[in-house]
Copies of this chain bind each other. A is one copy, B any other.
């Protein structure tokens, strides 16, 4: 309509990179997956893109991320965090869109309840197709951040049920990082970090020695001194 206006409007969107752990279709190893949404409008009609939408005036940024997440996948994230804001002038043809991008982790039990719809599909995170806009770059950023942060922060707990064994937690780290970790050293690091505490119970029914169960330790942000 008014394409001759000098100062065109900048529109603001919130998108989210959602990670979940599922077995790889070929190898069977648990790996990172993420949901993508098929675009039903130009530009990039038919291409896969990150779930997201325009920011509503009454909504906080994180709330917007949660909402599109619920709308597209029906999931509630166990962890949600702002990643970066992308605003290159030419990242969307014709119009100008600035995207504030969040990244999220969902628990496996939550993951199982995901809604199946034809326009939403899950992909192995390292094997996403060519996406709309600059979304491939965004996924790469999110993967880098996740892999960096899991080494110095207890976010892996967001990938694990309320009670878990250290082997499970190690499996999460191994799946995210894509390499094996020494069980003995992993145990010591985690326990020294104080982010988990034993429940006192053990997991039975395993084929061998019953492992101890742990839960997330209550956040103690007291400064000793």
Interface residues of A (CB under 8 A from B): 7-10, 12, 55-61, 82, 84-85, 87-89, 96, 98, 100
A9 CA to B89 CA in the complex, in Å?
A: 20
Contact of A7 among B12, B57, B82, B85 (CB under 8 A): B57
A88 CA to B58 CA in the complex, in Å?
A: 9
Of chain B, the residue at the smallest CB distance from A83 is B85
Tell me the interface secondary structure of chain A in the complex: loop
Other 7 A-B pairs with CB < 8 A, given A61-B87, A98-B100: A10-B57, A57-B96, A60-B88, A61-B85, A85-B100, A87-B100, A100-B100
Contacts known (A12-B12, A61-B85, A88-B60); A55 close to B98, Cβ less than 8 A? yes
> CB-CB < 8 A to A87: which residues of B?
55, 60-61, 100
Query: Which of A9, A10, A61, A96 has the most chain B CB within a 10 Å cutoff?
Result: A10
Q: Closest approach, in angstroms, between the C-beta of A169 and any C-beta of chain B?
A: 26
> CB-CB < 8 A to A8: which residues of B?
57
Of chain B, the residue at the smallest CB distance from A59 is B89
28 residue pairs of the A-B complex, CB under 8 angstroms, read: A7-B56, A7-B57, A8-B57, A9-B9, A10-B12, A10-B55, A10-B56, A10-B57, A12-B12, A12-B98, A55-B87, A55-B98, A57-B89, A57-B96, A58-B89, A59-B89, A60-B87, A60-B88, A60-B89, A61-B85, A61-B88, A61-B98, A82-B84, A82-B85, A85-B100, A87-B100, A98-B100, A100-B100
Q: Closest approach, in angstroms, between the C-beta of A141 and any C-beta of chain B?
A: 12
Query: Which of A8, A12, A56 has the most chain B CB within a 10 Å cutoff?
Result: A12
Q: Closest approach, in angstroms, between the C-beta of A133 and any C-beta of chain B?
A: 15
> CB-CB < 8 A to A12: which residues of B?
10, 12, 98
Q: Which 10 pairs between the two chains have the least Cβ-Cβ distance? A: A61-B87, A8-B57, A85-B85, A85-B100, A57-B96, A10-B55, A10-B57, A12-B12, A10-B12, A60-B89
> CB-CB < 8 A to A10: which residues of B?
12, 55-57
A85 CA to B59 CA in the complex, in Å?
A: 14
A10 CA to B12 CA in the complex, in Å?
A: 8
